[in-house]
Amino acid sequence: MKTRDLEEVRREVEEIRDESGKKVDEKIKPLVIGLRRWGVNTEFSCQGHRRSKSEALSFPSVIISPKDYRKVRKLISAFGKNSWILKKESWVNEKGAQFSQMKLLPRNKDHRKLVRMQKDAIEFSKFLQELPADWFKEG
């Protein structure tokens, strides 16, 4: 896997805005940076939010391009903590076109506290940002 310049990726992620003009959530931003450092195309991310006291917590996640599946599997495996999984989601729009995406999300998300999952995201991101550029060889 080829890495990108970390400072360049940080600047790039700082410029990302959603359709309402919001920046990447602070508690997921390091993970987006870490993934993009390794050439993973991220398409959407969320740090997870407490919606209300009566609702369940959401969870941190990053949508990646399906073409980056193998790359992200290698990174998750290298991390070795068994705390992240990739889930394929598919749907058909109103015109009948089929779409799919890959979502990187915490393992056992329904049984974990949001704060713990956010800390795991930051821990994984540090690993990705500090992993030596020559760690993986293409193949």
Instruction: Answer whether residue 128 shows pLDDT above 60.
Output: yes
User: Which pLDDT tens digit goes with each residue over 87-125?
Assistant: 988 888 889 888 888 999 999 888 888 899 999 999 999
- pLDDT of the residue at 139: 45
Residue 133 to residue 90: CA distance in whole angstroms:
33
- pLDDT of the residue at 86: 93
User: Which pLDDT tens digit goes with each residue over 10-65?
Assistant: 999 999 998 899 999 999 999 999 999 999 999 999 998 876 555 554 899 999 98
**What pTM was estimated for this model as a whole?**
0.87
- pLDDT of the residue at 8: 96
Ranges of each domain in the chain:
6-130
Q: How many CA atoms lie within 13 A of 68 on its CB side?
A: 23
Pick the closest to residue 41 from 4, 79, 96 (CA basis): 4
Contacts of 79 (CB under 8 A, 6+ apart): 124, 127, 128
